[in-house]
Each structure stands twice: as C-alpha cells, then as structure tokens.
Amino acid sequence: MENKDKAAQTARIKELIEKLNVASKAYYMDAQEIMPNIEYDAMYDELRALEDETGIIFANSPTQNVGYEIVSDLPKERHPSRMLSLDKTKSREELRDWLGDQQGIMSWKMDGLTVVVTYEGGKLVKALTRGNGDIGEVITNNAKNFENVPVSISFKGHLVIRGEAVIKYSDFDKINETLGDAEAKYKNARNLCSGSVRALDPAVTKARHVQLVPFTLVEAVNEDGTPVDFGGYIHNQFEWMKDLGFDVVGWKFVDRSNILDTIEWFAQTIVTNDFPSDGLVLSYDDIEYGLSLGTTAKFPRNSIAFKWADAKEETTLRYIEWSASRTGLINPVAVFDPVELEGTTVSRASVHNVSIMRELGLGIGDTINVYKANMIIPQISEDLTPTNNVPVPDHCPVCGADTVLKDEDGVQTLYCPNPDCPAKQIKSFSNFVSREGMNIEGLSDSTIEKLIDVGIIKEFADIFRFDDYHDEFVATFVGADKGAGEKSFENLKASIKKAENSRPERLLYALGIPGIGAATAKLIAKHCHYKWDVISHLTRDQLKDIEGIGDVLADSYVSFFTDPDKVRMVNDILELVTLDETEEDAPQFLDGYTFVITGSLNGYENRDALKAEIERVGGHVAGSVSAKTSYLINNNLTSTSGKNKKAHELGIPIINEEQITAWLTTGEEPQAE
C-alpha cells in the first residue's frame, strides 16, 4: 500500500512539474497567462510539500530553477554566483515570527525583471538580467537607456547593484495606446517591461520609459581595495545608494511591535501605487546576522517574500462575454454580480482562454469565488457549483467569421481567422479619430477595442452612429458607477458631434490610405481646391502632377478610391459627416521656412495646433533639428536639451512662442539674422 501511495505521489509530482513549467514558460517567454496566479501558487505549494514529504526532487522542478530559460539572441554571461529567489509566505503572523526580535527592513517586492548593474571607476560598465539564475543576458546598452539609471556616479570604486526593471502603470497606459499590432501581445506592465529590457534595439528600451529600482547592494569596494563601511546595516546601504542618485525601492523599519501595522500600511498604499508590485520583502537589517544564517538550495535565509493573501468574495456568474482582440484571439470574460474587493467594486474578470474556462467548469448561474490577484487584477479562483454549460462560439462576435479552436501544448484558445475583422484593425480606427484625422477626443485604443468587442463599432461610419448605442455603451463602461458611465457617454457624444463638421484634408488623412500622411493629405486637398469630389476622383497622372507624389503613392491612392468596398465605406461616412470645402486663401509668407517645435506651449492647445497654423501659411514643421531647419521654437531659450544643443551647433536661431505668434498674427516674413 505504501508503494502505491509513493507511486501516486511521484506521478502527482511529475504532473505538477509539467503544468507549472508550461505556465512559467508561457508567462515569462511568451507573455501569456494560462492559469490564474492563485492556481499557480497553490500548485507550487502542493509540489513543494510533496517534495518535502517524499524526498523526491526532479532536476526540472520549478522549486529548483530560478528565472526564465534563455532563448533570445542577446549575449550571455555567467553570474559570479548563482542568483537565488526568495522563500515566501502569505501569513502576516508567520512574517512576524520569522523576524523574531530582530530589526527588519520591509520593502516593496517589485514585479518586473531583475537586473544586475556593475560600475567601475564611476561608470556603468555592465548590466545582466537574472536569466536562469546561473546565466544572464548582457543588456548593458539597454540599461544605459533606462530612464532613471545614472551612467556615471561619484563613487569611483567597484559597485554591483541588483534591482528590478519596471515600467510604471501611467507610462504603460500611454505606451499601450500607441502599440502596433506586433506588440499587442503585451497585456500588462510586467510583460511589456520584460520585452523592453531584453530588446535587441536599445531605442526600444528608451522609448518604453523603463526604470530600475535597486533593492540589494551586492558589492561595494573602494579604489584602494577596501570594502565600503556601512556600519553593518542594510538601511545604510539604501541611503548610500540613494545619495549616489539611485531610486532605491521604498522601505520601512519594522520590528515585532509594528510589523503588522506596517504590512497594513503597505496593503492600503499598493492600490494607489504607480509601479507594479506583487508583494513585500522582509530582510534582517543586520547584514552579518542575516549572512550567518546561510542559504538553502534555492533560498537565502536572510530575506523572505510576503505575497498578499487574496481576499475572496462569492458571487453569481451571469454570462460569458467573448472578447476579440487585435491579435485574433477571442478570450472569455466572466461577467458576474458586482462585489467589493480591496476597496473597489468589480463585476468582470478575464478567464484568459477556453482551457481555463473548462477547468473551472464555468456555467451561467454558477456560484463562483473571485479575488484580485496581487490586490489589483480581478480573477476567478474557483467555481463552487460547476455546471460547465457555456458553449464556445462558432462565429466571431465582431465580424461573424467562423472561429477556430486551437490546441497548443494542451491549452485551448479561440481565434478569428478573418484578416479583415474590425477587431484586428484597431490601428486604423486610432488613425481615423486622431488629432490630424477626424479629431475625436476620448477614443483611446482601449475604448475603441471595447466598442468593437460589444459590436458598437464595425466600420468608421459607426462612430457617428454612436448616439444609437447609449444603453450598450453605459453597460460596457459603467462599472460600479452608473453616473460615471453616463458622463463618459455624454462627453464622447459631444466630441463625436463636433467631429461631424470637418475638413476634406482631415477625412483624406483619416481614411488611412497607405503612404498618405497628414502633410500629403493637405497637399492633395489644396491642389484640388478642397473639393471632395475632385479629391476622390484623381487619376494616376493627375496625382503625379502634384509635387512629392510618385508612382507608388499614386497607385496606392487610385487603388483605394476604385475599390468598391472602400468607396461604400467612404460614402457611408459622407452621409453622416459634413465637409467644409471652403478654400482658404491665406498668404503663404512662411513658404520655404522649416520649423521644429519643442517644449511646452502657453497659447496653443498643443504642438499640433501651432503646427497647423504654421502650415496654413506655407511653413513646414519637422520633428528634428537639421541643417535644413530655419528656426527652433522653444519657450525655454536657455534649455540644455538635445534640440537646443543641436541648434547651437548648427547656428540655427532659437525663438520663443511669442515670436512665432507675432509672425503668424502680422503676416510678416521672418527677417534673416
């Protein structure tokens, strides 16, 4: 009987290892979440308990491996010593008992990608990712483009610091609205950060606003070879790193008397943090005491991680909404009776894929437990009355095409194969509503995606039928506050109403004809005296008569306006939109002048508004300073920005907003200096 039990335990260990490794690979390498965090943690804890009980530990067990497997083309380098992860607990009392009578340092456990940076002689000379714990990827050039990492410091000795590369939620939201289709796989700040840190092009890293948050000083040696004296305490290391210019992880002193109150402070604060965190880290402040405790095969004994015990609430599942994405994936979203979780009301949770929906046994009317993973992301932990009665749709909820159910490594996902599905055309809708297009405020990528998901938008003209979908819109965006949903509806309605009166050049750009940017659209419209009938019937030869338009653009343009589907789409828009075809007869006194605009403005809504005024009178606005630039516009004339430096190097005059406004107002041509 004992052998049978041992065999069953061994089989279960192997099963858990396989499932956890598949989930880990999907999360760390493919940026996909195929099981809820709470399920992963429960399986991991079960695996570790079985390993402890049986003494059987396999080499591929996630309890023995740290980090992601290396698969990129980045250079590799072995760490001087193996980087260990931290043991963890969800019990506040266990954390207090672990600390005992020692003084501790409690800090945020950042949710990003661990990076080790090395300085020699005051210069950043190397940066490595954690990798698999033994071998990391060399990302030195990328680290030099982190937003807050000093490439030069006052300390001239040897310094090694370990930290977490993260992207703030506020930056993630801004970036996510501009991501192209190739980057649509990034679903949260951690995944985007991982891809950005390990990008082969450092320019990608810089554009993503990656930040490094140091949490461990690994080594600090003076120029004479003596170790830096920190008095034996971690908090002195933190203060020292801060003085060098590093944005050290947020931390607090704790002891047995205040640790529970301090944990509660962190719990209250995390909901407003602008950076991703998935728990806390508790370390002994006394460095020597912590080191004297040694390590296990995987964990150091001087620190421990605390993961939030997820608050759960019972509720009733009302229906499954199938959400089509720009990648073709159609994911199930559970909609349930609203419940209060971690201070907010939630009524929806992503189920991620068909496999998870089936494993949970979800059915309409079931009683389910919901929680917020890491106190942030709503998820379903279990179905208490599983009926598994939700059918997988045969047709895409957006375009109606036949769906495809794929099975990859035992994970079932639903796809829409139609390349013309509106859900895959988020970028074209974003272009349509952009400032230089139809200029509809309030329609971010995420909002457009939701409107497509629920069937409000299928083509451009549907945006101007928005008033017909009041109930659907409020139901989609209301959340816990119906008033907020009504206000959002009215604001967007007003913005769309304003856009119903537009200009031919705006519509031409908004249509997204390949190669026809805002400047070219204005050029064509001006050539046609702003008459839409002329604009939309230009021949190939007529287009080539317009300066700057060659064979490729002409062919693309004519192909668009001779495509019956495109013509129907444009006609649908024109039934709902009025174009002002008045020909502006503004003097072109800035013809031949090229301007670059930088810095903040006072009298204009944004740079695009000033750009429009300059172009209206013949001027050209470029994005960067070059020898062809006539003037750089910057209200901070003494700025040491890159554009100001470049202008000084090339001898290009720098003027402020007041000067360009004066020229625009008086119609005077700039005088050569």
CB contact at 8 A, 202 and 144: yes
Q: Establish whether 109 is a catalytic residue.
A: yes
**Encoding tokens for residue 636?**
């901070």
**Distance between CA 118 and CA 129 in Å, rounded?**
12
Q: Chain centroid to CA 638: how far?
A: 34
User: 576, 464 in Cβ contact below 8 A?
Assistant: yes
Q: How many CB atoms lie within 10 A of CB 172?
A: 23
Name residue, tokens 């070219």: 520
Cα–Cα dist 552/511, whole Å:
17
Q: Which residues contact 518 (CB under 8 A, 6 or more apart)?
A: 436, 505, 509
Handedness of CA 284, 289, 295, 296 (dihedral sign): negative
Q: Running DSSP on this structure, what letter comes out for residue 464? A: G
Q: Which helix (H) or strand (E) holds 24?
A: helix 2-28
Tokens representing 375?
């106190």
CA dist 530 and 344 (Å) reads 51
Please, which residues have CB within 8 angstroms of residue 615's CB and are 6 or more apart in sequence? 519, 522, 621
Alpha helices in 562-656 (DSSP H): 564-574, 607-616, 642-650
Yes or no: say if 87 and 304 are a contact pair by the CB < 8 Å rule: yes
**CA distances from residue 520 to 328, 554, 612 in whole angstroms, order as listed:** 32, 12, 13
Amino acid code (one letter) for 353: N
Contact 466, 500 (CB under 8 A): no
CA–CA gap between residue 618 and residue 604 (Å, rounded): 19
Residue with structure tokens 């943690």? Answer: 41
Q: Give the Cβ contact number of residue 589 at 10 Å.
A: 17
Which helix (H) or strand (E) element contains residue 127? Answer: strand 123-129
- What's the CA gap between 504 and 529, in Å, rounded? 10
Note whether 634 and 657 are within 8 A (CB).
no
CB neighbours of residue 356 within 10 Å: 22
* 220's tokens: 């600090």
Amino acid at 255: D
Q: Which of 500, 518, 503, 498 is nearest to 579 (CA)?
A: 503
Residues with Cβ < 8 Å from 453, sequence gap 6 or more?
321, 323, 324, 397, 398, 423, 476
How many whole angstroms separate alpha carbon 18 and alpha carbon 501?
A: 59
* Contact in structure between 218 and 162 (CB atoms under 8 Å): yes
| Token pair belonging to 268 | 């209250």
- Please pick, among 19, 109, 611, 643, the residue that the annotation labels catalytic: 109
207 contact partners, CB below 8 Å, separation of at least 6:
175
Question: Which amino acids are annotated catalytic?
Answer: 109
